[in-house]
């Protein structure tokens, strides 16, 4: 008798990436750090393509942390310029591939020009439904939890007894990631083994893959390998099978 084998590939719904190692990639070649960021954009493109092809629904990228504002002014301004340039250049590709674009973070420190460009691309791509590309910009996990707590406190100030009923799902709605499923898989490149104030609340049961490869070298093949490794993981969420 033929046994039915479930061959459905276990594709993660949401893959998140801490793109690390651009600076080292550039230094190893005797180049300025910003060259590494420019090269990193190629990996962003490759992984976005690979994610769409694999059927991933959300790809999120940690592009700039709140702590990154403390980098040399020239590097900060290059990164912001790179963001502007990418927004202008990638619009057509995102539309062709049915990708919705979203940016999440503390926008207070972003220039009005960049904010406008972001809002424009978010609006243009809002009806695309094949995949959502989320860029975390000026983001930190602690900032997110704090802003959620503040908004929640304001909402409940006239009804403190309502807090008794507050669920985890209710709290989720105050996070800047509301409506986006928690990441199934988080990849960090460049051999660093930490979360660096990224998705602290949302990564409670995320599978982690740490790769020694520097972000500009990561590309499509490594991304596919990470998906294959994820498919072999046994997710138990603290339970026993």
Q: Active-site positions?
A: 20, 68
Q: Which of 62, 43, 53, 83 is nearest to 134 (CA)?
A: 62
Helix (H, G, I), strand (E, B) or coil at 191: coil
d(CA 206, CA 114): 31
Is residue 24 a contact point for ligand FPP (CB under 6 A)? yes
Concatenating the DSSP letter of every residue in 39-68 gives HHHHHHHHHHHHHHHHT-SEEEEEEEESGG
Contact between 12 and 185 (Cβ < 8 Å): yes
Is residue 21 a contact point for ligand FPP (CB under 6 A)? yes
Do strands 207-210 and 185-188 pair parallel, antiparallel, or not at all (unpaired)? parallel
Helix (H, G, I), strand (E, B) or coil at 8: coil
Tokens (6 digits) for 47: 């992984």
What minimum distance in Å lies between the beta carbon of 177 and ligand FPP? Answer: 17
Is residue 44 a contact point for ligand FPP (CB under 6 A)? yes
Is residue 196 a contact point for ligand FPP (CB under 6 A)? no
Applying CB under 6 A, the span of 52-60, 79-87, 124-132, 221-229 interacting with ligand FPP comes to 79-87
Q: Among 15, 19, 51, 185, which residue sits at the site for ligand FPP (rule: CB under 6 A)?
A: 19
Q: Where are the beta strands (DSSP E) in the chain?
A: 14-18, 58-65, 99-104, 131-139, 185-188, 207-210
What minimum distance in Å lies between the beta carbon of 230 and ligand FPP? Answer: 22
What minimum distance in Å lies between the beta carbon of 40 and ligand FPP? Answer: 3
Interface mask (CB under 6 A) for ligand FPP, residues 121-160, using x and -?
--------------x-------------------------
Number of residues in contact with ligand FPP, rule: CB under 6 A? 20
Is residue 213 a contact point for ligand FPP (CB under 6 A)? no
* Interface ranges with ligand FPP (CB under 6 A): 19-24, 37, 40-41, 44, 61, 63-64, 68, 79, 82-83, 86, 135, 190
């Amino acid at each position: 008798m033929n046994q039915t084998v479930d061959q459905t590939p276990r594709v993660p719904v949401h893959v998140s990436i801490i793109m690390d190692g651009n600076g080292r990639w550039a230094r190893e070649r005797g180049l300025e750090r910003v060259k590494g960021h420019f090269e990193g954009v190629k990996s962003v493109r490759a992984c976005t393509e690979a994610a769409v092809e694999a059927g991933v629904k959300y790809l999120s990228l940690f592009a700039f942390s709140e702590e990154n504002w403390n980098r040399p002014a020239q590097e900060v301004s290059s990164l912001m310029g790179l963001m502007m340039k990418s927004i202008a250049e990638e619009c057509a590709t995102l539309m062709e591939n049915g990708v919705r674009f979203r940016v999440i973070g503390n926008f207070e420190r972003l220039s009005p020009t960049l904010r406008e460009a972001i809002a424009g691309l978010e609006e243009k791509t809002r009806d695309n439904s094949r995949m959502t590309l989320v860029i975390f910009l000026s983001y930190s996990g602690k900032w997110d939890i704090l802003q959620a707590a503040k908004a929640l406190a304001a909402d409940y100030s006239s009804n403190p007894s309502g807090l008794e009923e507050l669920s985890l799902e209710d709290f989720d709605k105050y996070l800047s990631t509301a409506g986006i499923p928690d990441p199934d898989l988080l990849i960090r490149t460049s051999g660093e083994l930490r979360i660096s104030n990224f998705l602290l609340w949302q990564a409670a049961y995320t599978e982690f893959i740490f790769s020694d490869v520097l972000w500009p070298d990561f590309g499509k093949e490594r991304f596919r390998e990470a998906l294959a490794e994820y498919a072999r993981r046994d997710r138990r969420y603290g339970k026993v099978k």
